[in-house]
């Protein structure tokens, strides 16, 4: 999960995706916050963690699933490895260390959601491209976000991520001046999913420390759930709407 422009909502999308998947039967979900120089996931979930991603980096040489889980904090059924608590502008770990953390997490959890920073070097993004099943790029329907996203997509494609990119347009309204067709033409990428704008539900979520998808039955909450099911090709039952279809990951 990443975004080319701060404030686009990538962290909220990552949290809600993890929350939806954690509600599936016998499913263990991890959320790793790699944002730097400071992480936001802990604040969004009202956590006061004892350990952070920095501790996992320090323990990488002896890291195993048990130790990793001990470094995590549980929230809403999600095992969270929060980002750094202190302001550290240059805190990117060596690529082999990051790979080790990802490998251990993948062995311990069915789903691992990673909130990525833009400060990563090309070799780090290449590792993410290699190890991930999907890379969700979040943007809002505005010219500045599109301009930045176009350049991010080009960069990610250079790391081998082309077939894994999933474009998510956040905070959409029927009155948006920029159409879906204009976004797709400018970015040369099909829109994978759109999330409706709901400021009040988002603020309520942050203030309560609970994901929107778990907090209410708004259109935004339903959209988060359908997005999660499509992204993971999961067929599940919604008590109000019957059975969702089995969605493919095709663009």
Give tens-digit pLDDT for 50-109: 999 999 999 999 999 999 999 999 999 999 999 987 776 667 899 999 999 999 999 999
For 80, the token pair is 């969270």
**11: exposed, middle or buried (Cβ count in 10 Å: 0-12, 13-18, 19+):** buried
Angle at 201 between CA 195 and CA 207, to 5 degrees: 125
**C-alpha to C-alpha distances, 9 to 4, 17, 68, 189, 195, nearest whole angstrom:** 11, 12, 27, 19, 10
Average pLDDT, integer, range 32-42:
87
Look at the pTM and tell me if it is higher than 0.85: yes
Total H helices, total E strands in the chain: 11, 10
Determine the CATH number of domain 2-243.
Answer: 3.40.50.300
pLDDT reading at 236 higher than 50:
no
Please give the Cα distance from 165 to 157 (Å, whole number). 8
Give tens-digit pLDDT for 128-165: 999 999 999 999 999 999 999 999 999 999 999 999 99
Pair 102, 130: CB distance under 8 Å: no
Q: Are strands 165-172 and 135-139 parallel, antiparallel or unpaired?
A: parallel
- Check residue 233 and give its pLDDT: 87
Please give the Cα distance from 103 to 201 (Å, whole number). 35
Whether residue 37 has a cis bond before it, omega within 30° of 0: yes
């Amino acid at each position: 999960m990443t975004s080319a422009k701060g404030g686009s909502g990538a962290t909220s999308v990552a949290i809600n995706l993890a929350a939806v998947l954690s509600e599936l039967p016998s499913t263990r979900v991890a959320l790793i916050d790699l944002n730097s120089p400071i992480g936001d996931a802990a604040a969004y979930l009202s956590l006061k963690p004892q350990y952070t991603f920095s501790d996992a980096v320090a323990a990488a040489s002896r890291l195993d699933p048990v130790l990793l889980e001990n470094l995590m904090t549980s929230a809403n059924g999600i095992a969270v490895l929060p980002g750094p608590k202190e302001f550290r502008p240059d805190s990117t770990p060596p690529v082999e260390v990051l790979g080790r953390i990802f490998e251990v997490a993948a062995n311990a959890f069915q789903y691992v959601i990673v909130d990525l920073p833009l400060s990563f070097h090309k070799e780090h993004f290449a590792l993410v491209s290699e190890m991930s099943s999907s890379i969700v790029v979040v943007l809002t329907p505005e010219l500045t976000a599109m301009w930045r996203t176009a350049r991010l997509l080009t960069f990610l494609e250079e790391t081998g991520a082309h077939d894994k990119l999933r474009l998510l347009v956040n905070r959409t309204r029927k009155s948006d001046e920029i159409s879906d067709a204009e976004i797709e033409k400018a970015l040369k990428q099909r829109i994978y999913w759109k999330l409706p704008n709901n400021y009040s539900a988002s603020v309520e979520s942050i203030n309560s420390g609970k994901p929107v998808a778990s907090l209410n039955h708004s259109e935004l909450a339903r959209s988060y759930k359908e997005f999660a099911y499509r992204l993971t090709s999961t067929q599940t039952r919604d008590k109000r709407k019957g059975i969702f279809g089995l969605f493919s990951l095709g663009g």
